[in-house]
Amino acid sequence: MDPTLIAHHDVFSAARARASGLTPADLRRLLREGRIVRLHRGWYATRRPRDDADLHRMRVEALLVEYAGRAVATDASALLRLGIATWRPDLRRVHLALTDPEVNRHRKGDLVVHAHRPTPPQLAPRPASGTVHPAVAIAAVGLKDPRSFLVPADDALRRGLVTAAELAAAVDGLGRRHGAAGVRAVRDWCDPRHESPGETLVAHLLRLDGHRLEPQFVVRGSERWTRGGQGYRADLRLSGTRVLVEFDGRVKYDDRQVLWEEKLREDRIRSLGWVVVRVTMADLRDPATVRARVDAALALAAA
């Protein structure tokens, strides 16, 4: 039998395999042939996980079947299942939330099952999707680090998966939980104009330093160099200054044409009197250096 026929979201249980006629010997043979892989005790996957996040998603699927509608994914487990961007998610533990108030929460090894929490109607769990409301999951992961809130919040807002009102209600629902004050402090910094986690993180660092920002700023005077005359867009402008901040994600450095076009674009922007600061994910590990570069750019622009 083809194991993919009994799998749900690429996973299946040993019990389902037995009910479908697969013997323990069959499962051992499929494992040797590499047609299935063992997820954890009593559960298998029909393909190898692409990475740790994919493995986490598979484990979530298996546990949702085990709980049979009595729990939904929450925290980072929900965000990964929904494909929402995350910042340093805890991939070691699967987080579920009980939908039945009569069932007790528990924590065992790599599984955390949270107690049922009443939520307003607009933030009710979504059993059909197997997750809590996205805004609830986003607020919950922010308890660890405000950046863990901002990255998925910006992504979900940009994609229309949540509204600002839903995020606000979810943050209010955190109450006095440890870390809630940090989430509330950055709630108003959410902005769907941030087009990547890197842009969100750069904006967070700059706002911590008191800068006011204009995301996706259209550089005036650059219209003549763009198709349709829409002008070049910079990731961030420091409001009231001639300083632009660009986040550099992964670039195909072997593509000389891409490198040339990017250099030409920046040279043109500089020719209009703007100072450009480029920041990479590696730079964000050293906030003091980024601050020094931004301060130097402000001094140059002022001069």
Up-side HSE of residue 164: CA atoms within 13 Å toward CB? 7
Q: What is the DSSP letter of 104?
A: P
Residue at token pair 């009980």? 98
pLDDT tens sequence across 121-164: 899 887 778 999 999 999 999 999 999 999 999 999 999 999 99
Are 64 and 130 a contacting pair, CB within 8 Å?
yes
CATH number of 197-302: 3.40.960.10
Q: How far is residue 248's CA from residue 251's CA, in Å, rounded to a whole number?
A: 8
- Residue 204 CA from chain centroid, whole number: 15
What span, in angstroms and rounded, lies between the C-alpha atoms of 12 and 294? 52
pLDDT tier at 106, thresholds 50, 70, 90: low
**pLDDT for the residue numbered 125:** 85
Q: Please state the rounded mean pLDDT for residues 274-300.
A: 96
Predicted confidence at residue 110, as pLDDT, reads 85
Residue 117: the pLDDT is: 83
For 248-278, how does the pLDDT look when each residue is reduced to its tens digit (9 = 90+)? 876 545 577 777 888 899 999 999 999 999 9
Instruction: In whole angstroms, give the CA distance from residue 299 to residue 292.
Output: 11
Q: What is the mean pLDDT of the chain?
A: 93
Over range 227-236, report the average pLDDT.
Answer: 95
What is the arithmetic mean of pLDDT over 48-57? 95
User: CA nearest 89: which of 148, 33, 16?
Assistant: 148
Instruction: Answer with the residue of higher pLDDT: 189 or 263.
Output: 189
- pLDDT, one tens digit per residue, over 56-79 is 999 999 999 998 888 999 999 999
Share of the chain above pLDDT 70, in %: 96
Q: Find, among 64, 196, 115, the residue nearest to 56 by Cα.
A: 64
Residue ranges matching CATH 3.40.960.10 in the chain: 197-302
Cα separation of 209 and 203, whole Å? 10
pTM of the model: 0.91
- Residue 251 near residue 260 (C-beta atoms within 8 A): no
SS3 138: helix
